[in-house]
Chains A and B, each alone.
Chain A
């Protein structure tokens, strides 16, 4: 079933700071997204219809539309890292552990540029990591990620296209990534790369979720290494 009729992307933004919630909401709306904001990870899970003890519920269909048990379709979750109680990382894990939610792309935001933190999130399956304060240019990069959930009803886009390059990525992932400071004038997260490959639905396997996850971890590290100079090894 194609969800093509729903043209607007709906983002769930999670941040305990009222100021940052207002900001991210405005950024997303400026980018033509529908936005729901919540102030905690647990409220996010509630909104997503996941109770904290729901993990890999076998009763859930291996989703054609992963959000089939929610009223609202969410195309992306963007969450702050440092939150009291459930951190953004904890939330990310719960989402990726949930059979119904794991295909929703998750982006992490943080005011602190800590490479190990960034890598840990990317390894856990985050699509991207934005340093705060988040800008419109960051938000504009979200569309490709969100497209995946629309295309999901056709196929699960796997990251198989990157598989051949994994060894390089592994190397890249092992070495301390060029500390983001060194990478460019501003301190962007490593993940500032154009991501056209992600949007492609052509990798038509019914790739199993575990694969997706494994590919995610490599893919992000790869992208940092690959783009803009795809040949660069770090």
Chain B
């Protein structure tokens, strides 16, 4: 197998596993469908925005939960935003972690919220590294002169 085919196979296997393991859902497929020659970096751009946004949200959440008197409405607002952005890019596990988080906000349960924040951070860092790996594979394929396989 030549280099390109090898890389392409790696890419397909890796992508498939991300969907199978629930890191990504169909919304990510939708993003890829929107990418075209007029905007060949669309997915990377959106995901980069997501990374930036998420890091801010995580910081805001940590800070909000550290207040003497926790403003759960504010915490919930941040989580709502995070849930929205993760849903928009197809980061399913992060989204699910946010859903669980909101339940604890509703219950004004500080310990629950702290645990959920850890969970969200964990899921976020996982999906971030997986997406970065995926993008790297894409770049390798392109650099080797190949095209990126489209998952059916």
Hey, which bits of chain A sit against chain B, CB under 8 A? 17-20, 22-23, 26-27, 30, 82, 84, 111, 132-133, 135-136
Contacts and interface: CB of A to CB of B under 8 A. Distances in A.
Contacts of A17: 53, 81, 84-85, 88
B46 A23 contact: yes
Given A18-B53, A22-B45, A82 B80 contact: yes
Contact of A111 (B45, B53, B87): B87
B34 A20 contact: no
B30 A19 contact: no
A37 B27 CA distance: 21
A19 B80 contact: no
Interface of B: 27, 30-31, 33-34, 36, 39, 42, 45-46, 49-50, 53, 77, 80-81, 83-85, 87-90
Given A22-B45, A30-B34, A133 B80 contact: no
A26 B42 contact: yes
Contacts of B87: 111, 132-133
B49 A26 contact: no
A3 B70 CA distance: 55
B34 A18 contact: no
Given A26-B39, A26-B42, A19 B34 contact: no
Contacts of A26: 34, 39, 42
Given A26-B34, A111-B87, A19 B27 contact: no
A226 to B, nearest CB: 29
Contacts of B27: 133
B103 to A, nearest CB: 14
Contacts of A18: 49, 53
B15 to A, nearest CB: 19
A136 B30 contact: yes
Contacts of A27: 34
A136 B34 CA distance: 9
A184 B56 CA distance: 36
A113 to B, nearest CB: 12
A6 B81 CA distance: 37
Contacts of B88: 17, 19-20, 23, 132-133
Given A17-B84, A133-B30, A133-B88, A22 B39 contact: no
Nearest to B81: A17
Contact of B33 (A23, A111, A133, A136): A136
Given A17-B81, A17-B88, A23-B46, 19 more contacts: A17-B53, A17-B84, A17-B85, A18-B53, A19-B46, A19-B50, A19-B89, A20-B84, A20-B88, A26-B34, A82-B80, A111-B87, A132-B88, A133-B27, A133-B30, A133-B88, A135-B30, A136-B30, A136-B34
Nearest to A80: B84
A17 B87 CA distance: 12
A22 B49 contact: yes
- The list of the 6 closest CB pairs from A to B, nearest first, reads A19-B85, A111-B84, A133-B88, A133-B27, A19-B49, A26-B34
Contacts of A111: 80, 83-84, 87
A22 B88 CA distance: 10
